Amino acid sequence: MKAMKTAAILQSPRKASREQRKQQMIEATIESLAARGYAQTTMTDVAAASGVSHGLVNFHFETKEKLLSETLLYLAAEYRENWRHALAGAAPSPAAQLNALLLADFNEKICTQSKLRAWCAFWGEAQSRPIYQEKCDAYDQACNRELEEVCARLIADGGYAHNAGRVARLLRVIVEGLWLDIMSMTTPYSRDEAIRTVYVCASALFPRHFGESGLLEQPTL
């Protein structure tokens, strides 16, 4: 038993090192997608940016397709975990939970130029590469359900005459449009400005719970 424990301790740093290198390669892939786009990203670029050999990238991912697939899954899982963390840290009221979800989409960890551009590169390939839609569908559906459920609770809580599915869809479209603006505008467009824009939409939908500056401390019911 003691020998087994000693072996586990000796193997742990090596395992951690492998995971760290793999993470570095995924992060390098995100940067390459942002700078070069999908078609121009190569395993050689990723190896150079990661500071490892081309053979090591091949060892971990085998093909460019697998490298990109795992990068997509990483981004999707990170996005999902960000939402879960936001909900877990929010007050139980539907307005507070919706506010947490809206802010989560502009979290500094998620809403970076590189990651937004990487997402855009994958979106551009989605129609011709159904595997990407298949792999992300479960994440998308889970996030959509959570948003719609929160909206349904807030509609009931405030007595609003809305359809929860349409409201959730509208909020998603607003956020995705703002992500595109943050990426493409030549003049600076900050996350703070994006959040203020989202709040304009939220205040129009839920005026008793949101103002243009954010969540109202005392809902006007």
User: For the segment 144-178, what is each residue's pLDDT rounded down to a tens digit?
Assistant: 899 999 999 999 999 999 999 999 999 999 999 99
Stretch (H or E) spanning 210: strand 210-211
Residues β-bridged to residue 211: 214
Q: What confidence category does residue 131 fall into, taking pLDDT thresholds of 50, 70 and 90?
A: low
Which structure tokens are listed for 163? 């359809």
Half-sphere exposure of 210 (CA within 13 A, CB side): 26
Mean pLDDT of 59-71: 87
- pLDDT at position 127: 54
pLDDT at 47 over 70: yes
pLDDT at 1 over 70: no
Mean pLDDT of 188-199: 89
pLDDT at 32 over 50: yes
Q: Can you give the pTM of this predicted structure?
A: 0.82
Q: What confidence category does residue 188 fall into, taking pLDDT thresholds of 50, 70 and 90?
A: low
DSSP string, 55-94: HHHHHHHSSHHHHHHHHHHHHHHHHHHHHHHHHHTS-SSH
- Separation of alpha carbons 34 and 23, rounded Å: 17
Domains of the chain, by residue range, sit at 1-62, 63-221
Q: Among 10-24, 114-128, 181-195, which stretch is predicted with the lowest mean pLDDT?
A: 10-24
One-letter amino acid at 111 equals C
- pLDDT at position 20: 83
Provide CATH code, domain 1-62. 1.10.10.60
**What architecture is the 63-221 domain classified under in CATH?**
Orthogonal Bundle (1.10)
pLDDT at 2 over 50: no
43 and 61 Cβ atoms separated by less than 8 Å: yes
For residue 215, the SS3 value is: strand
Mean pLDDT of 172-192: 84
- pLDDT at position 126: 62
Q: Is 65 exposed, middle or buried (0-12, 13-18, 19+ CB in 10 A)?
A: exposed
pLDDT at 14 over 60: no
Mean pLDDT (the chain, rounded): 85
Which structure tokens are listed for 44? 């050689």
- pLDDT at position 52: 83
